[in-house]
Structure formats: C-alpha cells, structure tokens
Amino acid sequence: MPDPRTAPIESLIPGLEEIIDTEGPILDLRVYRLFASSAGIKRLREPTKERLTQGLDAAIRYGSVEESFELGCRVLRKKGRPKVVLRTRGTRDLREIPPSEVQQMMRFVMDRAPGLEGEQVFREVISRFEVGRLTESARGFLQKVYASLEEDLAESRGDNYSGFETSGAADLVRFPSGEPIDQLRVVLQPYRSWEAQTLTDPRTAATDEVIRGLVEIISVEGPMLPYRAYQILARSAGIARVRQTLRERFDECLDRAVAIGKIVDEWQMTERVVRLPEVPSVILRERGPRTFHEIPPCEVAELVTQIQKSGIRQGRTELYGNVREYLKLGRLSTRIRESLDAVLDSLDSSEERATDA
C-alpha cells in the first residue's frame, strides 16, 4: 500500500476499497490499521488516521463504499453488500467486530437457547467467537450491544416478533483471514439420566407401584420412548431383558397411567413417545446414554431443522454427518441413515403441506 502520510489522497482509495471489499462490513479503525500495516507503518498516529479518513470520505462520495453508524462506530462495506454478515472472528479482536454482527450472534444464541440472558449470553458469544476469557473490557462492550438488542427486541415483540433465524444476509460465512467453519453450533441441553435405584419386581408388584416407577423415570428422562423406560425399570428390579410377557405388563401399566392423566403419550412418526403433562413434546438434548433409536423422532427432526437453520445449505450426506457429530454417534449404519431419511422426508412433506395451505 502507498504510504498514507505522503501519498495523494486519491491514491489511497484503491487500497481502502480492497480492504473493505475483502473484510467488510468492517470498522473504520480496523481499515486504518490494516492499511497502515501494509504500508509498513507500525503505529497509527492521528495525522495518518486523518488522511485515511479523507480517503474513505472520498470513496463514499464516489459511491464505491457505503457507511453506517452503530453504537458510535463507523462501519464500512462495498456498495450493494449486506449491512450484516455473521462470520467467524478470524483475526479480529472482539471490539473490531461490528456491533450489529455481535448483536446477530446474540440473537442467534438467544433464539437457540431461550432461557439465556445477560452474563450467560455474553459467555456464549465469547465462546462462539473463540475470543478467550470474558474480560471487563469485553463485558463492557457486550453490555452496550446487549442493551441495544433488548431495545430492538422490545420493539420487535410489539410487531409479533417470531424469533431470529440466520438467513439471507445474516448467514454465517468464513471470515477472510480466519479459519473455515461450516456453521454455528446448535445448543443442546444436557441429557438428564434417571439415577438407578432398586425397584420392586414389576412381574409381581401391584399396578400402582409399577406406574409409580414409570412416572418417576419418565419425569426425569421424558419425552422418551416407552421401551427405554421399560428397560430402565426392569434393570432396576434386577431383570436383564424385557421379554414379551413383561412388555405386555408394562404396556398395561403405561396405558393405565395415561388414562388417569399421570402421563401423556403421542405418536411421533411411527413411534409412541411419553412424557409428563407439563413437559413439552420436544426437548433438544445431547444423546446421553441413549442409542440413536431411543431418541424420539421429533427430537431428531428438531436437531435436523436447527442444523439447517444455523448454517449454509448442505446435502443429505453433510447434514447427516453433522447429526452424527452432534449426537456423538459412531459410524452411520444403514438403519440410522434410513431413519434420518424418514425424518427428512417427513419434514419435506410438512413444508409442502404448509406451502399448499
């Protein structure tokens, strides 16, 4: 780059445009630092900054660069480019990321994990941008962005705000000088496992006692497939295998629990799923001790949906690879692939019905 301290202002414009074209949307101070560094200037002093500002102003007048102001920061982008692009951090410091991009990350985090707020959001944002620890300086910056976001959300909710999705201009992309990444992480809740305890043999116990055991297990691990609850209860009674006769006994007790309102059951695709009445139908969780086929179909479907929302478009092979990663599965067997095919076909059919309606 030409030396901005001595070169004509007009000669600075191509270099400024090149930086903005590559890294925009970008803060003006980062543009100045990159330009100065490329010109062999180790320390950016005020006179140099003023000359670079004149170059930027000229580029804006000529129409090749557009600007916006966010929380006191001047953000620059090439004409016609989106105002917000959600990216990996790359070589940027946290405070070099445009506030609107940080805000989009906060929206993403809060949409995927609705219970998070304040400090929890800050730590998740720091983690996703791979910044390191949450310093006081970083916290102060994030507090300003978060306060602005709360104002925006308050206004949006007044207009039937329905949640944030990373789509269009906000798709996550690789930051030019950063490491490649396919997508943002989907937030999975930890899986709560029922703590093993000794239960009465269900083959001889009273129906109410078996129901009590099933409700206790389902209260911890639901929504879940009935057969997993049966296996857990059987093992707790010292029974290694649930045979047909015992399964019929469990089915009778479960049906009774549903009839008296202690448990809710529903069909998800071809599987019966049970939960307590106050528990939502779908909870997106880590796999935990479950096999893939013990995960409720709608939970798998929700994971697929969130993966599709959270990153770039991908074919089934890439999508299934991401499911395998999130659920920490080994190889994808033919049976697992067939199950995922059925889930994706069901989602596609649901979209088609919604479109037709």
| pLDDT single digits (tens) 221-243 | 999 999 999 999 999 999 999 99
What is the rounded CA–CA span in Å between residue 246 and residue 252?
A: 10
Same domain, 248 and 296: no
The answer to whether residue 110 scores a pLDDT higher than 60 is yes
What span, in angstroms and rounded, lies between the C-alpha atoms of 298 and 284? 9
Start-end of H helices in the chain: 9-23, 28-38, 46-62, 99-112, 119-128, 136-157, 207-221, 226-236, 244-259, 297-310, 316-327, 334-356
Which of 59, 81, 103 terminates a domain? The answer is: 81
pLDDT the model gives residue 331: 84
Quote the mean pLDDT of the chain: 86
**pTM of the complete model beyond 0.85:** no
pLDDT: which is higher, 61 or 356: 61
Going by pLDDT thresholds of 50, 70 and 90, the confidence category of residue 349 is confident
Tell me: do 90 and 73 sit in the same domain. Answer: no
The answer to the question of residue 283 being in a domain is no
Query: Strands 264-268, 271-275: parallel, antiparallel or unpaired by DSSP?
Result: antiparallel
Domain-embedded: residue 194? no
pLDDT confidence of residue 163: 37
For 80, 196, 212, 236, 294, the CA distances from 231, given in Å and listed in that order, are: 59, 12, 15, 9, 11
Res 325: pLDDT? 86
Cis peptide before 180 (omega within 30 of 0): no
Tell me whether residue 247 is exposed, middle or buried, using C-beta atoms within 10 angstroms of its C-beta: 0 to 12, 13 to 18, 19 or more: middle
Torsion over CA: 139, 141, 146, 151 (sign): positive
- Both 88 and 174 in a single domain? yes
Residue 305 lies in a domain: yes
The radius of gyration of the chain from alpha carbons, rounded to an integer in Å, stands at 27
Domain annotation covers residue 193: no
Residue type, 62: Y
In-domain check, residue 195: no
| Integer CA distances (angstroms), 316 to 306, 338, 342, in order | 14, 12, 12
pLDDT at 77 over 80: yes
The tens digit of pLDDT for each residue in 14-43 reads 999 999 999 999 999 999 999 999 999 989
Report how far residue 335's alpha carbon sits from residue 341's, in angstroms, rounded to the nearest whole number: 10
Find tokens 């395998």 and name the residue: 324
Q: Is residue 256 over pLDDT 90?
A: yes
CA 208, 213, 216, 222 dihedral sign is negative
Give 191-215 pLDDT, tens digit per residue: 999 998 899 999 999 999 999 999 9
Average of per-residue pLDDT across 308-316? 65
Q: What is the pLDDT of residue 65?
A: 94
* Whether the predicted pLDDT of 173 surpasses 90: no
Check whether residue 104 and residue 141 sit in a common domain.
Answer: yes
CA 203 centroid distance within chain: 45
Q: pLDDT-based confidence at 310, cuts 50/70/90?
A: low
Q: Which residue has the tokens 């479960």?
A: 254
What is the reported pLDDT for 354?
57
Question: Using 50, 70 and 90 to split pLDDT, how confident is the model at 156?
Answer: low
| C-alpha to C-alpha distances, 337 to 11, 112, 288, 289, 331, nearest whole angstrom | 58, 26, 20, 20, 10
Residue 5 shares a structural domain with residue 63 = yes
Q: What is the pLDDT of residue 353?
A: 61
Same-domain pairing of 100 and 149: yes
Q: Is 65 inside a domain boundary?
A: yes
Supply the pLDDT for residue 308.
80
Residue at token pair 């300086």: 137
Question: Which helix (H) or strand (E) element contains residue 273?
Answer: strand 271-275
CATH number at residue 218: 1.10.10
Pair (16, 45) in one structural domain: yes
Domain total of the chain: 4
- Does residue 168 have a pLDDT over 90? no
**What DSSP designation does 240 have?**
-
For residues 1 and 76, state if they share a domain.
yes
Q: What is the band of 154 on the pLDDT scale with cuts at 50, 70, 90?
A: low
Structural domain that includes position 317: 292-356
Q: How far apart are CA 14 and CA 105, in angstroms?
A: 31
In a domain, 187, yes or no: no
Residue 201 covered by a domain: no
Flag whether pLDDT at 56 surpasses 90. yes
pLDDT value at 171 more than 80: no
The pLDDT score that the predictor gives to residue 109 is 82
**Percent of the chain with pLDDT strictly greater than 70:** 87
